[in-house]
Structure 1
Amino acid sequence: MPLAKNKETASPATQYFAEVLRKLRERAGLTQDELGSRMNYTGAAVSSVETCARPATNEFIARAEEALDAGGLIAAASKYLRLERYPAYFQGFVQLEAEALSVSSYCPQVLEGLLQTESYARELFRCDFPPLDEEEVEKLVEARMARKVLFDRRPVAVVHVVLEEAALRQRIGGSTVTKEQYRYLIECAARPNVVLQVMPLDRTGHAGLRGAMKVIETPEHTPLVYLEGQGTSLLVSKPDEVSVLMRRHTMIRTQALGLTESVAFIEQLAGEL
């Protein structure tokens, strides 16, 4: 009875979404096959979501909302379901990031997730160890791409990213993926709410040597700092600790190349491929 086992072991949010979908479908007088036909899915696909055998994708959620004329109920039920696509240690930060007035990152090893292409993110997750299966990889890629709504939401968020040259030169996925990623970074840097800087390797030393960090400003104008590594994370909120990390991040920004120089640097790297 594998489906019953999935239903029993699924998270509360997954079970709640499945129940909302089922009740709305039944209220509309539709079978799983009929709903699937309206959504351009199979009845088996609808069944797999209702039994928690498979997670609902963004596309599935949007089509179900429309097909059932759900008045926002399915979208509302999916709010916490979407959070479960992220690792547990990252879920709290995702909620803060989605509402932040500004997000400032220093990235010494890999590129900022908000600025990753789908191909780069996919290859990055495939490098994980122990290895992830392809279904889990695709779930994580979709979740990472969903964070990009930050760029276009209202009120607009300011995104400031400092990338180490070493992170840029790491050819995740090979030359084709890397070149596509460079071009996307240049496109992102052209946005009026995005500032992109590069920390070149020829710096003899700088304030970022202790590792990656993210500084966010909440809607209440409260600064917080998020630290992450090896599947663990820490959200720093004590004012004195936040102050030290913010001053360190400010120094990192002053030591990196400016926006124009940084874009030119990335264009040069792209030209080398």
Structure 2
Amino acid sequence: MARAENKESASPTARLVADVARKLRVRKGWTQEQLGREMGFSAAAVSAMETCAQPASDEMLVKLEQVLGDGLEIFEQARVYMRMEKYPPQFKDYVLVEQKALVLRLYATFVVHGLFQTEEYSRALIGGGYPPLPEHRVEELVEARMARKALFDRVPVATIELVLEESALKRPIGDDEIMRKQLLHLAECAERRNVTLEVLPMNCGLGGEHAGDRGEMNLIETPEHDHLVYLEPQDESLLIRDPGKVSTYAQRYARIRAQALDPRESLGLIEQLAGEQR
């Protein structure tokens, strides 16, 4: 939503995009209305972007690249920086590593992992968090989270493993329809060749052992084959590089996977729960 206060708080990238877009538009001899028509936006939307009352959305940056970019990829590169500026401060270091990862091994406990969330689920989750966030900030965070999904179709392909607690599948976020769509989305993700999705059943501790009792984790293998661990307890962040500590987390993750349902059983459970939401 366009707001006057956005002009004062606009990020450096948003200001640069506005300045470059305006200069390139003027160079072409176009009015804001003409540029908007070329991109499929209103003149008011173009004006809001150029004054930073409403910084360019990811969709607008794509159109700006097509219409004004002239192959220089100025606006395409701006998409990367704009997304980075929207992430919470504690997350920015990790997301750079995540987007370049060769392998991701993920363990999520209370809610569906962000990479696997639908837009509606993500909006309900972020919008219902504490402390409450302004609506425009919720939308920024949802957009930034959805942009991370490009990893699924990236070239070179990333291998992604997710172990998800059964309780996260049964914990309603938003409403029944949001949960049904989220479960169906998980089932679609599980069908991808580069994705392995396994559910850790709620009764995994009946034998006296629950390897995942210390909480969620992200294990990353970089293109250089370095191995890292990322933890994010209570909005804090920790990116672990020490080989000994990473090894301990990797062993724990392997044990968690050993206690999980296999991929076929996991998919069956997810589809069953989705059916129950109808």
TM-score normalised to structure 2 length: 0.92
Counterpart CA distance in 1 for 2:10 and 2:28 is 26
Aligned pair partner of 1:252 in 247, 252, 256: 256
Report how far residue 161 of structure 1 moved: 0.3
Query: How far has the Cα of 1:82 moved from its partner?
Result: 1.7
SS at match of 2:237: strand
Q: Which stretch has the larger CA shift, 133-142 or 255-264?
A: 133-142
Tell me how far apart the structure 2 counterparts of residues 68 and 11 of structure 1 sit (CA, whole Å).
21
Q: Distance in 1 between matches of 2:9 and 2:180?
A: 42
* Equivalent-residue separation in structure 1 for 2:135 and 2:3 (angstroms): 20
Equivalent in the alignment of 1:238:
242
Q: Secondary structure at the match of 1:70?
A: coil
Shift of residue 111 of structure 1? 0.4
Aligned partner of 1:42 in structure 2 is: 42
Structure 1, 185-194 or 41-50: larger mean CA deviation: 41-50
Counterpart residue number, 2:170: 169
Question: Matched residues in 1 for 2:84 and 2:53: separation?
Answer: 18
The whole-number CA distance in structure 2 between the counterparts of 1:147 and 1:228 is 17
Out of 227, 232, 255, the position equivalent to 1:228 is: 232
Instruction: Give yes or no for contact 2:3–2:54 (8 Å, CA) kept in 1.
Output: no
Identity rate, percent:
50
Distance in 1, matches of 2:138 and 2:261, equals 34
Matches within 5 A, 1:157-196: 157-196=158-197
- In structure 1, the residue corresponding to 2:239 is in which secondary structure? strand
Matched residue type, 1:40 = G
Give the Å deviation of 1:187: 1.0
Residue correspondence of structure 1 range 17-56 to structure 2 within 5 A: 17-56=17-56
Amino acid at match of 2:44: A
Task: Report the 3-state secondary structure (helix = DSSP H, G, I; strand = E; otherwise coil) of the residue aligned with 2:97.
Answer: helix
Pair 1:111 & 2:115 matched: no
Amino acid at match of 1:156: V
Q: In structure 1, give the amino acid aligned to 2:70.
A: A
Deviations 1:137-184 (A, max 9, x none): 222222111111111111110110000111111011121111111111
Give the Å deviation of 1:191. 0.7
Please report how far the alpha carbon of residue 214 of structure 1 lies from its aligned counterpart in structure 2 after TM superposition.
0.3
The one of 203, 206, 210 equivalent to 2:210 is 206
| Cα deviation digits, residues 9-41 of structure 1 (max 9, x gap) | 432222222222222222222222221222222
Structure 2: gaps (5+ residues): none
Query: Which residue of structure 2 lines up, in the alignment, with residue 75 of structure 1?
Result: 76
- Distance (whole Å) between structure 1 residues aligned to residue 24 and residue 240 of structure 2: 42
RMSD value, Cα? 1.8
Rounded to whole Å, the distance in 1 between the matches of 2:182 and 2:76 is: 31
Q: Which moved more, 1:228-237 or 1:154-163?
A: 228-237
Q: What is the TM-score with the length of structure 1 in the denominator?
A: 0.93
Q: Distance in 1 between matches of 2:257 and 2:174?
A: 28
Q: Is the 8 A contact 1:4 1:51 kept in 2?
A: no
Pair 1:131-2:108 in alignment: no
CA distance in 2: counterparts of 1:20 and 1:3, whole angstroms: 21
Any conservation in 2 of the 1:24–1:70 contact (CA below 8 Å)? no
Q: Are 1:20 and 1:77, in contact at CA under 8 Å, matched by a contact in 2? A: no
